[in-house]
A and B are shown apart, each in its own frame.
Chain A
């Protein structure tokens, strides 16, 4: 390429794009330059001075992290320059003079860049004969993070992360020189929803997470790739597991999903320091009004016969059985439950209890996720608050705005991202649809937000939870999209809403109106495709979901309910909905611990918790991400797939696909995004973004 730059590092000719920093150019050919403050995602601050290199014709050593390459540059690193070698050794010696060297009791010991680079580049001993500087420690910076200021080498990664990436500049350096330390402003706290990332990028043990500190040494645990189940972002993570216990969660960078960052909600969902509620390990059956422990066989038999009695009673119409599934149930579980209900019980009453479904996709809405935000030059958020609902997409939008994308907000203009927006319109409730309609009209009229949006070329429109349930609003968005999709403008519209796997639920056909692969139940040809794969017929009438499902139970129409990983009774229900739950002739609940719904059940199956399952989740951008169990379930507990297979067997149902592989293969035949997830493993197999 003509605009590439050729330079020489340690006698090797290297060709890199302009703007590449020396440290990156060297790294691209495997020449390692020590570093502490440098982080590929942060603006270089060049403060640790450990990456100093010699550049021909430059009198002083210069920081490789902050210096862009130039044509013909001749760089010498420690491999070929004694001056550089001595300087780097000197810098590490400086960093260590006041560092406590309490590695044997430090959380970072064993995964510590200071330890590793001291071994690789540092002096063997110290010549420091003076007293080390002392600080009060540890000091809490926020609800999750503590700081040991003696270990801190003032690399500023945490400060830079909070300022640049999270855009919550809650920590900075205070005081001066050797007296300086990282702190919050007086009376303030580090309560950013991204504070956990600072612990991960800290190159020493200065920042520790309250829930993990002092709990383990890095060599004691196993790192297992997984997916965060806390929201629909689907961040790629590692679980750190020791003796069957997850001790913490760490990032596993996937540029298409998370950029290597995690929000605190996801990261600190694992809290080994807090007592966990007791697990359910035995099936329970209601006998004489009380839930009593029974054997698996007994419970399976009870549930099967109760369901059959209800569904197969003479004269019973279709749809007397229903199912509710909760967030963090896997695609496989949702698919299987949906298939059983439709084929064995002639019911389409499938209700996903984890936020708005992405049914809008079939109405001209494409999935929208991180890559689309990267692509956009203009972003419109309609009644959506990613900072709260999809935190990693909040970071992605901030990144897009930093890179020049323009943000428009329609809805609640007091959300955090509104401060970055170039155009905001306050609207709520019924005003929302009217406001969207007005913007659509303003596109050709070239006024207001319409003009603002239409001056973009690549426009992302994202609807939040409430907006996506408002049919008028959705149809107005459709008009807005067509108004914008003109004059060379491209629009990608989608839903920034729904809980974990909400997109998976609809894709898997766990939906009253949709069969797997977004096939409408009233589309005869689409339905026939599914029936062919299932070798069974499917009821043609759309089913019930959500409130209508419970209300229908209240009227005695729905008589049996299978609740998988959901707890509808814990929500604020209307009296009618509550009556529905009470009137059920048979309520089967699968859960990992006792819930309000389980307390009302006739049968309760002890089910595996999320970390004990193998399967896949579909994120907000309809990216299917597969994962394996991080820990085994406790004895006596089965996964929901296993429970469903056992139920099917007990009921002698025609369920030919029992093994996970067979099941996956069948789903792949019906769902294109699911099939695609087989071509590459979940997310990227890339290691975490942690820098050396």
Chain B
């Protein structure tokens, strides 16, 4: 597949607006802004574009909920709070082709009738923030943002809002709270942001990668977009691969590329030709897949059918030397730390799971602990107001089920028998 989203990222100086424009940035604005908003929305619907943030919700449908009476002010929010461990796919766009995102926001804002856009960027992405903020400034100077974009009569204002380092703010309603200046905690739903979102107004929240597709759909049409990927998941997809592979990094492939192809062919396989023990296919909120699942196609439906989640495209590979209990503990440490604390099951449950896993890893495991871990997870599952807790238990449930013997060995042998390197890494 020819690169689409990443095709300009290797051009030096793409963050500078002159270079960007010379290389095609904002080239689709004229065409897109010339379309009626409803037609643009239809085009995106027809393309089959689905959200790249993890949930895979059809983008056009989401826009449709918020588009409506043009007199009601509404907002477009770009979720650039890329904080899922193992996920770094939006970063190349933010740092190396920021004008693509701005062009995408202008077009998307036009489609839903939003004159204001917010880019909520992860606090730790300091470089990306500086680059993006400068890009916005330049776009204003050149008339790509503001009251009357390139004489089209369309208005679009854009604000870059920097997060303060909380994973939960990637959850869309916590993100809105954070922009509004409040404690970053998810809101109870309903109402959904499409009806009551930022500052109480209808709001569309899209991932960076999702939006980045829009200018190309405008340029080349829905049919072209659907020619890539699978029937239910069209278009290109960014995968970020980390862990035990020879060539970790961000790759743009068609939706539906098999996991084995990604690891073996694209990423050059596992170092030392070791056996793959487990793969997390879509960020640490996704369940572990085992070696038997390597032929799964990387799209929403196929990964779900394999018992995990396509998620953000953050693929983490573990090999035979990696301790699954230690990896699960490491993930749970993350969730315990990042749970916002609003809902009881998430706040207390992640604390309990972390401590129980820690005890097992350190040699204090008891035979009844495995049933306990699963039951704690069951008491968390689906019982809090946002998906963080459900993501947090995926690693526990899948690792206990798929790698039960390894847990039992920990309990039997009074601790972790894997190489000191792994044990050390987990405790770090």
Contacts and interface: CB of A to CB of B under 8 A. Distances in A.
A44 B385 CA distance: 13
Interface in B340-354: 340-352
A154 B341 contact: yes
Nearest to B349: A94
B338 interface: yes
A87 B366 CA distance: 24
B339 interface: yes
Contacts of B348: 94-95, 97-98, 178
B237 interface: no
Most interface-central of A94, A175, A180 (chain B CB within 10 A)? A94
Q: What is the interface residue range for chain B against chain A?
A: 20 to 34
B73 to A, nearest CB: 22
Contact of B188 (A46, A52, A127, A180): A46
A100 to B, nearest CB: 14
A179 B341 contact: yes
Contacts of B50: none
Nearest to A99: B348
A98 B336 CA distance: 14
Nearest to A155: B344
Contact of B355 (A52, A127, A130): A130
A178 B350 contact: yes
B356 interface: yes
A129 B359 contact: yes
Contacts of A44: 188
A177 B344 contact: no
B344 A49 contact: yes
Q: Which residue, B337, B342, B366, B384, has most C-beta atoms of chain A within 10 A?
A: B342
Contact of B351 (A90, A153, A172, A177): A177
Interface string B325-339: 000000000001111
A380 B344 CA distance: 44
B379 A45 contact: no
B355 A87 contact: no
Contacts of A577: none
Contacts of B383: 49, 52, 60-61, 87, 90-91
Contacts of A97: 348, 351-352
A176 B379 contact: no
Contacts of A130: 352, 355-356, 359
A601 to B, nearest CB: 60
- Which of B339, B340, B350, B379 lies at the interface centre, i.e. has the most chain A CB atoms within 10 A of its CB? B379
A61 B340 contact: no
Interface in A138-178: 153-154, 172-173, 175-178
A128 interface: yes
A86 B352 contact: no
Contacts of A59: 382
Nearest to A44: B188
- Quick one: which of A48, A50, A127, A172 has the most chain B CB within 10 A? A127
A127 to B, nearest CB: 6
B166 interface: yes
A129 B360 CA distance: 12
A5 interface: no
A131 to B, nearest CB: 7
A386 B377 CA distance: 52
Given A87-B379, A94-B379, A173 B345 contact: no
B343 A173 contact: no
A216 interface: no
A179 B351 CA distance: 10
A94 B339 CA distance: 15
A153 B385 CA distance: 17
Nearest to A95: B344
A93 interface: yes
Nearest to A50: B344
Contacts of A173: 183, 341
A63 B188 CA distance: 10
Contacts of B336: 177-178
A86 B188 contact: no
A525 B336 CA distance: 80
B347 A60 contact: no
B410 to A, nearest CB: 16
Contact of A60 (B338, B342, B366, B382): B382
A133 B351 contact: yes
A128 B350 CA distance: 13
Contacts of B372: 127
Nearest to A175: B341
A177 B385 contact: no
A241 interface: no
B347 A180 contact: yes
B347 to A, nearest CB: 6
A89 to B, nearest CB: 8
A176 B338 contact: yes
Contacts of B385: 46-47, 63
A489 B268 CA distance: 82
A177 B339 contact: yes
Contacts of A180: 340-341, 347
A66 interface: yes
Given A47-B342, A173-B183, A178-B350, A86 B379 contact: yes
A50 B344 CA distance: 9
Contact of A154 (B345, B347, B359): B347
A198 to B, nearest CB: 19
A46 B352 CA distance: 21
Contacts of A60: 382-383
Interface in B354-395: 355-356, 359, 366, 372, 378-379, 382-385
Contacts of A128: 352
B350 A93 contact: no
A133 B372 CA distance: 20
A180 B372 CA distance: 25
Given A52-B383, A176-B166, A131 B355 contact: yes
B340 A176 contact: yes
A133 B196 CA distance: 37
Contacts of B341: 154, 173, 175-180
B370 to A, nearest CB: 13
Contacts of B339: 176-178
B183 A178 contact: no
Contacts of B350: 177-178
Contacts of B378: 86, 90
Nearest to A46: B188
Nearest to B168: A176
A644 B9 CA distance: 96
A94 B344 contact: yes
A61 B356 contact: no
A93 B379 contact: yes
Nearest to A181: B341
A153 B344 contact: yes
A176 B349 CA distance: 14
B340 A45 contact: no
B188 A91 contact: no
Given A60-B382, A91-B379, A129-B356, A177 B343 contact: no
A484 to B, nearest CB: 34
Interface string A31-51: 000000000000011111110
Contact of A91 (B168, B338, B340, B344): B344
Interface string A90-111: 1101110110000000000000
Given A173-B183, A176-B341, 15 more contacts: A47-B342, A47-B344, A48-B344, A49-B384, A60-B383, A63-B385, A90-B379, A91-B379, A95-B344, A97-B348, A153-B344, A154-B342, A154-B344, A176-B339, A177-B340
29 contacts: A44-B188, A46-B385, A49-B383, A59-B382, A60-B382, A63-B188, A86-B378, A91-B379, A94-B347, A94-B349, A95-B348, A97-B348, A129-B359, A131-B355, A154-B341, A154-B342, A172-B183, A176-B166, A176-B168, A176-B338, A177-B336, A177-B341, A177-B350, A177-B351, A178-B336, A178-B339, A178-B348, A180-B340, A180-B341
**What 7 A-B pairs have minimum CB-CB distances, sorted nearest first?**
A90-B379, A130-B355, A94-B348, A180-B341, A177-B339, A178-B351, A60-B382
